[in-house]
Structures are given as structure tokens and as C-alpha cells.
Amino acid sequence: MILVTGGAGFIGTHTCAALADAGIPTLLLDNFSNSRRSVLDRLARITGKPVACVEGDVRDAQLLRQLFASHPIEGVIHFAALKAVGESVREPLRYYENNVAGTVSLLRAMQAAGVRTLVFSSSATVYGDPASLPIREDFPLSATNPYGWSKLMMEQVLADVDHAEPGQWRIARLRYFNPVGAHESGLIGEDPQDIPNNLMPYVAQVATGQREVLSVYGGDYPTPDGTGVRDYIHVCDLAEGHVAALRYLRAHPGLLTVNLGTGRPVSVLEMVRGFEQASGRAVPYQVVARRPGDVAACWADPALAERLLGWRARRDLQAMCRDAWRWQDGEARRLGDAP
Ligand code: NAD
Ligand code: WQD
């Protein structure tokens, strides 16, 4: 059984679906600080089985001790974290406490229970503003905000833990690029509780008419059409990357660090056009000033993941837009139908 912290969140739910597809039993742990309890029923509809979930916090040492003592947990996938960059600048202590202290609390509980297999959610944010592209795992690391620092710190904690007990741990640090899209069932997807910070959920809400117009942050970047370029990866491909990482760790002790991206750069305007095509709706936009802290371009060299894990992203931009639209349109209709 795999313990999935933050399992009720965006990437967590899709990974639980992928684990179920692979026949791997899961136990979710989530404090629902950024997710809804209703996703559990939806996940159960997808997997055809009830979902085992405990409501609680990864910083609760006593709860973790109980969980490890009472369940046959062989490994952990650790998604639980706060992830809003702007909020992290305003509330750094909350971010360090939740993300860094939460990870230390989890590692202590794992060590005490003798469970030393961990898949960790890192981020392309650890590469800062890359000097060249595509980005390889051995590129220099840097951070420009507390969220990014928290990921770098946690990566360091994991390297130190591996170093202190050589050969005992099996740790994967997975550096995600820009996860988007939704499960093809349309039952689960990204569900921002506030105004979306990220491009795809914002575009999706403009397409449904929930928001009027997309602000395109910057039209003067040194990119083919002047707008920012990213490596968007379908969340179901990302989820399958976690299953592949777990399989890899079974056979390889030590510390693994890999990019999970497609290697394909996509601009903001390409995303807008892709979404218009998938939804059949117009996505009005206006080009405004650059967003502070944004880099012009960021995309992965995904070769290491393919070589080591035998994994690569299979779904294209069209599938990302189609599935995000199916989810967003379905949600908008469900909300509209609600009494
Ligand atoms: P999410 O907010 O949808 O999911 C995180 C889940 O963790 C939520 O359900 C939340 O309630 C839970 N959680 C947070 N703190 C907790 C705690 N202390 N104890 C228990 N549960 C807690 O976010 P996501 O997009 O699914 O991201 C998952 C992971 O991937 C995070 O670590 C995030 O930093 C990382 N990541 C995300 C992206 C992205 O763009 N979505 C990119 C790179 C990395
Ligand atoms: C993508 C592109 C924007 C919104 C962020 C975090 C990063 C990671 C993923 C977790 C950029 C442009 C966006 C909008 C726009 N999270 N944009 N209008 O900035 O690559 O990464 O999320 O680790 O840490 O920084 O993703 O989706 O916010 O932006 O023009 O309303 O879309 O300028 O070029 P980003 P994003």
C-alpha cells in the first residue's frame, strides 16, 4: 500500500487513479486545505472502489505514527504542500512550516516506521531563470520566492537523508513542469478555490464565460510570438510518471532526480488557440505588462526520465485542452444546475 499525502489535490487525485489502474492500493492523507471532500466520491467512481482516506495533517506526528502502525504502507508519494507563489511571498512562515516542516515530520515518521521509499513533488521552479534550454537535471538551481525556496530546501533535506543512511532510502525527486488538463472522465480536474493564478484554469474559465478576458502577461518576450513559453504536461501523463518512479525505486535504492515534462515549448497564444479549438468558444485576451518574477521560457529535456523510468509524456496539447474543457464545462454546468 502507498500512502499518498495531499492525495485529494489536483495531481494527487489523478495519481491515485493511475495507481488504481496499476493495481496498487492507496491510502490518502489530506487536510483539505486546498481540496474538497467530494473528490473522494468522484475518485471512487473512476476506480470502481471506495477510496481509503484519512483527514489530517502531515505535521501531526502522532497521526502519522498511528497510520504507519496500522497500515501495511510500503512507500509514500508526498504531494501535500501549499503552492501559490504570490501567497508564499506574503506568508513565508506558513509556507516553510507547511511545506518544509511537513516534509521533515513525514520523514521522521517514515524513518521510525522503517518505510524508506518516497516519491516527492518537486518543481521546475527550482531552475529559476535557466541560462539555456531545454533544461537538464544538472542545471544550476535557484529560487526567487519562498515557495521556490521551500522546494529547494526539501530537495536538500532529501539529499541529506539519503546521504546519512546510504543505500537505505529510495527517494525520487520529480521536477514537474506545468501540469494541466484533467482526467478524461471529466470527473476530476484542477479546481482553484479562488481566482486562478495559472494560465490553463484561467483560460478555461474565460471559455465558459465565468471570466471576461484573459490578461496575457507580456507580449515582448524574446520568444517566437512574444508571449511566455512553457512545457505544459497533461496531468495524467504526470500521474503515470509517479507509477513509473515507484517501479524504478523498487529496483534501485538511492536518490533519483528527474524532470517530468514533454520537452515541447508552447506559448500563451498557442495555448489560447488550442483551447478555442477544443472548446469551440472564443477566448478574448488582452496583452498587458509582464508579471513580476516570470521567466520568458522554460521547458524540459525529458530524456533522463525516458532512459531511467521508461516513461514519456504521450498526450499532446489538443488532449490537454480537450480534457480540461470537458472538466471545466462539466463543472460550470453542474454549478449552473445546482439549486
Ligand atoms: P493541490 O493544492 O491541488 O494539492 C495539494 C493537496 O495537499 C491539497 O489537497 C491540500 O489540501 C493538501 N495539503 C496541503 N498541505 C497539507 C498538509 N500539511 N497536510 C495534509 N494535506 C495537505 O496542489 P497540486 O497542484 O496537486 O500539487 C501537488 C504537489 O505538486 C505540491 O507539492 C506542489 O507544490 C507540486 N507541484 C505542483 C505544480 C502545479 O503547477 N500544480 C507544479 C510543480 C509542483
Ligand atoms: C504560464 C504562462 C504566464 C496566467 C507557476 C509557478 C510554478 C509552478 C507552476 C509549482 C506564463 C502566462 C499566466 C495568466 C498569462 N508551480 N499567464 N496570464 O508561471 O510557469 O509556473 O505554476 O511548482 O512554480 O510559478 O505557470 O500557468 O502561472 O503561467 O499570460 O492569467 O502563462 O506569464 O508565461 P508558471 P502559469
Q: Is the CB of 59 under 6 A from ligand 1?
A: yes
Instruction: Report pLDDT digits (tens) over 114-170.
Output: 999 999 999 999 999 999 999 999 999 999 999 999 999 999 999 999 999 999 999
In testing the pocket of ligand 2, which one of 142, 286, 294, 295 has its CB within 8 Å of the most ligand atoms? Answer: 294
Is the model's pLDDT at 336 over the cut of 80?
Answer: no
Instruction: Report pLDDT digits (tens) over 273-294.
Output: 999 999 999 999 999 999 999 9
Q: What is the reported pLDDT for 339?
A: 37
Q: Is the CB of 79 under 6 A from ligand 1?
A: yes
Instruction: Report pLDDT digits (tens) over 235-256.
Output: 999 999 999 999 999 999 999 9
Burial tier of 255 (Cβ tally within 10 Å: 0-12, 13-18, 19+) = middle
Q: What is the reported pLDDT for 333?
A: 85
Question: How far is Cα 55 from Cα 291, in angstroms, rounded to an integer?
Answer: 36
In testing the pocket of ligand 1, which one of 16, 40, 62, 83 has its CB within 8 Å of the most ligand atoms? Answer: 83
In this structure, whether the domain defined by 2-335 belongs to CATH 3.40.50.150 is answered with no
Q: Is the CB of 216 under 6 A from ligand 2?
A: yes
**8 Å CB contact between 303 and 259:** no
Q: Which atom of ligand 2 is nearest to the CA of 290?
A: 33
Cell of 171: 527517494
How far does residue 109's CA lie from ligand 2's centre (Å)?
34
Cα-based angle 185, 270, 297 (whole degrees, multiple of 5): 105
Q: What is the reported pLDDT for 337?
A: 52
Q: Which atom of ligand 1 is nearest to the CA of 34?
A: 11
Is the model's pLDDT at 193 over the cut of 90?
Answer: no
Question: How far is Cα 80 from Cα 34, in angstroms, rounded to an integer?
Answer: 10
Handedness of CA 193, 194, 195, 198 (dihedral sign): negative
Q: What is the reported pLDDT for 338?
A: 40
Q: What is the reported pLDDT for 293?
A: 92
Ligand number nearest CA of 219 is 2
Is the model's pLDDT at 307 over the cut of 80?
Answer: yes
Residue 335's pLDDT band (cuts 50, 70, 90):
confident
pTM for the predicted model, two decimal places: 0.98
Q: What is the ipTM of this complex?
A: 0.99
Residue 256 phi, psi dihedral angles, 5° rounding? -115, 135
Q: What's 292's DSSP letter?
A: T
Q: Identify the helix (H) or strand (E) that includes residue 313.
A: none
Average pLDDT of the chain to the nearest whole number = 97
Q: Which atom of ligand 2 is nearest to the CA of 217?
A: 30
Distances (CA, A) of 35 to 38, 89, 331: 9, 22, 15
Domain residue ranges in the chain: 2-335
Q: Is the CB of 99 under 6 A from ligand 1?
A: no
- Give the residue, by CA position, lying nearest to ligand 1 atom 13: 80
Q: Looking at the annotation, which residues are catalytic? A: 147
Residue 269's pLDDT band (cuts 50, 70, 90):
very high
How far does residue 224's CA lie from ligand 2's centre (Å)?
18
Q: Which atom of ligand 2 is nearest to the CA of 176?
A: 23
Average pLDDT value for residue range 174-179:
98
Look at the block and give the residue holding cell 490578461.
Answer: 215
Average pLDDT value for residue range 189-212:
94
Is the model's pLDDT at 299 over the cut of 90?
Answer: yes
Cell of 114: 522503517
Q: What is the reported pLDDT for 213?
A: 98
- Give the residue, by CA position, lying nearest to ligand 2 atom 4: 199
Residue 28 phi, psi dihedral angles, 5° rounding? -95, 145
Residue 110's pLDDT band (cuts 50, 70, 90):
very high
Residue 188's pLDDT band (cuts 50, 70, 90):
very high
